[in-house]
Chains A and B, each alone.
Chain A
Amino acid sequence: MSTQSERPSDLVAAPSRFPWREVVLFAVLLMAVLGVYALMGTAYSTRMLVEAACYAILALGLTIQWGYAGQFNAGVMGFVALGGYCAMAFSVPVNQAFWASDLAGELGMVLLFLAVGVLVVVGVSRLHRLGVPRRLSTTLAVVLALLLYLLVSARLDEVAGRIESQFGFIGGLGLPAWAGWIVGGALAGVVGYFIGKVCLGLRSDYLAIATLGIAEIIKAVLKNADWLTRGTATVSPLPWPVPPPGEVGFTLARALYLSVTAVMIAAIFFLLTRAYNAPWGRMIRAIRDNEVSSAAMGKDINRRRLEIFVLGCILMGIGGATLASFNSLFDPQGYLPLNHTFLVLVMVILGGPGNNLGTIFGAVAVYIIWVMSEPLALAVLELVVGLGEGAFGWDAPSNLDSRALQARVFVIGLLISLVLRYAPKGLLPEKVRHHG
């Protein structure tokens, strides 16, 4: 029976075969990149490549969640934004005026209040160990938590309001950018841990709903907590980990940044490929393909799932941090589901979920299309308007530019639908190897 289930198509993907598909696809990609260089100039094209590299890190994060483990994260944007926030908060110069003022102390008091409150609530919720009925202790804890929350948030609002009016925001820590990248990854991982803890044992749809929600919440917090992030006023510039354009010129600075991200991708790629082929990766795939039998074999399914989900979120945090540093701008409002969740999704499912090389290919290819589609769409639109005006005296709506952007929303949606239907395994499908 087991010999019959091995279909011929699996044998075609045996590792010994020469990777024609990969070589051809990457050759085409290289030509496209060179084409962009020829058309748009070195500085522009290098910027595009750096951004594509940052997106590749995001896409690798998503491909291990979706491709390796079948977990669908619909809130990549939230983890990207968290990474971006950390990159900003750690690297931006210290706001000396704020730290010298009384408000720093008052903010500390509020945080101390908060810590004490949390301890009290946790203590009350544990009262049942001292013989208090469990229901009573839980009720008390909930009521107390609500009350303390009201008081602390009222105090925090008040202090935050004064910080905003006197100093703008509390500033950063003045540390090197990479410190923020690491913490960004860690913070995204922590948030991912809690989401995963709640949702991973349930139907996969719930994870999608919850991640979609947490992404909007993270954005709302970053947008509205002006004392932390300057909100819609945005923070800029963010320091780079390499000499900035002001010192060495645009192209060289961007090329240096590109080499930093390229090294990161290479390291992540190497580690992921090792992990994928290690017993750990095999276990993850076994769980994805047949949960029941993996559970029957005594695998701790939920733990493995949580590991992979958190790992993916960490990568998204790191990718988001590198992206924010590169843009040298932290703008919470600029985080959009389209640009930071669905674009990444398209990269992964088009490139090949579960195939790291395919994912990187997808990231660079889709990003080139994405960037080039903007001038292209506008050109097409202008042509149409020109024709329309000439032929029928059509009075085109004035906000055509912003409407052209909406066409991109449609195209990304269409692309997702088409790929799912006609190329569900992506351009470079995951290779299924049969061991033994």
Chain B
Amino acid sequence: MNELVFFINNVIITGSVSGSIYAIGAVGVTLVFSIMRFAHFAHADMMTFGAFMVLLLTLAFPGAGGAVGLPTAVVMLPLAILLTAALAVGIDRAFYKPLRAHGVKPIVMVIASLGVTLMLQGLIRLFAGTGGQRLYIDDRKEIFRLALPFEGARAPIVVTEPQIILFILTIVCVVSLHLFLSRSRLGKAMRAMSDNPDLARASGINTNLIVAVTWMIAGGLAAIAGTLLSLDVTFKPDLSFFLLLPIFAAAIVGGVGHPYGAIAGGFVVGFAETLAVFNWGVLLRPFRDSLPEWLAQAGSLSFVGTEYKIVVPFVLLVAILVWRPTGLFKGKVIT
């Protein structure tokens, strides 16, 4: 029984946490891709930027959370979303729009986004330093322990407050994204533009507006994902290249240009990572006596050590590119 609890704590909860973060990040990447047709490498740094804004705001108003009974960082999140959305639109105006007007190849946009990544990284580290910082400054991280009503289950299921906020916010994001894309005029126009930009223009859809809205959504979602990641662990300014791979893998696994696919892909990647680093030896422990000696002796039976976690999204990425380049849900643009 304790092994089951261990499994729930280390796989179900951890997997859902990273899955949610990757999903929110991947939706942004996939939206940008479906409207502007390039892989936006600066996305992870927009996440970091969002979290950094939260950090600054939290430092400025440490007591704000106490008033409403939530962590200050969460109270500051809406403001950070706005700031990051503005940043995304500004970056587009300054760096991507002129290139788009020139009609450059998508891969040149990719390189431009790498330039933006470096600029953001440099600025953030210039001000934030390179060490990790906690987003919980004045308030305490609540930890909930749920005991299981079973015989012999001594260890409780452990969930922390930011994880619960994360789950709630993920659901909110997914539902509101769905409503936006399927009900609102702008959301439908976004899907239309991703289907056929020329026809969208011929229908009188203001494509500049759609591009701006896409950046706002991508930036806002990036701020949420970055903040939730930093709440769960700590704010680290140098995560970007480690986040990019799982997020891109999630977007590609789900089918590029397909927002619901990106959400599914995020969870696929998140769970694949946690399952791969999970020590399967733990689940064998109750049966130790009946196992052959060589198996019982093996110390840690995990597929990869945590230091090699980044291999998992890469393997998923390669596997999907080899066997099903359109992704699990049929993506749009692959060649």
A150: CB under 8 A from chain B?
yes
A205 touches B305 (CB 8 A): no
CB atoms of A403 and B310 under 8 A apart: no
Is B115 a contact of A337 with CB atoms below 8 Å? Answer: no
Cβ A210 vs Cβ B317 within 8 A? yes
CA–CA, A205 and B114, complex, Å:
12
A311 sits at the interface (CB 8 A) = no
Of the listed stretches A267-275, A354-362, A384-392, A405-413, name the one at the interface; the rest are far from the partner chain: A405-413
Residues of A in contact with B, size category:
35 or more
Contact of A202 among B111, B280, B298, B335 (CB under 8 A): B335
Q: Identify the closest chain A residue to B314 (Cβ).
A: A213
Q: How far is the CB of A6 from chain B (nearest CB, A)?
A: 21
8 Å CB interface, B175-201 against A? none
Which residues of A sit under 8 angstroms from B242, Cβ to Cβ? 216
Instruction: Answer yes or no: B288 CB below 8 A from chain A CBs.
Output: no
B80 within 8 A of A: no
Complex: chain B residue closest to A194, CB-CB: B318
Nearest chain B CB to A198 CB, angstrom units:
5
User: Is A157 located at the chain interface by the 8 A CB criterion?
Assistant: yes
Q: How far is the CB of A25 from chain B (nearest CB, A)?
A: 23
**Among candidates A72, A153, A206, A409, residue contacting B122 with C-beta atoms closer than 8 Å:** A409
Interface: A217 (CB within 8 A): yes
Cα separation A410 to B108 with both chains bound (whole Å): 19
* Residues of chain B in range 290-304 having any CB-CB distance to chain A below 8 Å: 294, 298-301, 303
- Name the A residues within 8 Å of B300 (CB-CB): 154, 157
Q: Does A329 lie at the interface of the complex (its beta carbon under 8 Å from any beta carbon of B)?
A: no
Taking CB atoms and an 8 Å cut-off, the chain A residues in 395-410 that contact chain B are 397, 399, 402-403, 406-410
Per-residue 0/1 for B112-123: is the Cβ within 8 Å of any A Cβ (1 yes, 0 no)? 101111111111
**CB of B74, distance to nearest CB on chain A (Å):** 28
Verify if B144 is at the interface (C-beta below 8 Å from A).
no
**CB nearest neighbor in B for A416:** B115
Pull 19 A–B residue pairs with CB atoms less than 8 Å apart, ordered by A: A154-B299, A157-B299, A203-B333, A205-B39, A206-B39, A208-B39, A208-B41, A216-B242, A216-B245, A223-B307, A345-B114, A399-B129, A406-B125, A410-B119, A410-B121, A411-B122, A414-B119, A421-B99, A424-B102
Partner-A contacts on B (CB < 8 A): 38-39, 41, 95, 98-99, 102, 104-108, 110-112, 114-123, 125-126, 129-130, 241-242, 244-245, 248, 252, 280, 294, 298-301, 303, 305, 307-308, 310-311, 313-314, 317-318, 321-322, 325, 333-335
Apart from A220-B310, A403-B129, A409-B119, 17 more pairs, CB < 8 Å: A150-B301, A204-B105, A205-B39, A209-B244, A212-B41, A221-B308, A223-B307, A345-B111, A402-B129, A403-B125, A406-B130, A410-B122, A413-B117, A413-B118, A416-B118, A421-B99, A424-B102
- A interface residues (Cβ-Cβ under 8 A, vs B): 70, 72, 74, 146, 149-151, 153-154, 157-158, 198-199, 202-206, 208-210, 212-214, 216-217, 220-221, 223-224, 337-338, 342, 345, 349, 397, 399, 402-403, 406-417, 420-421, 424
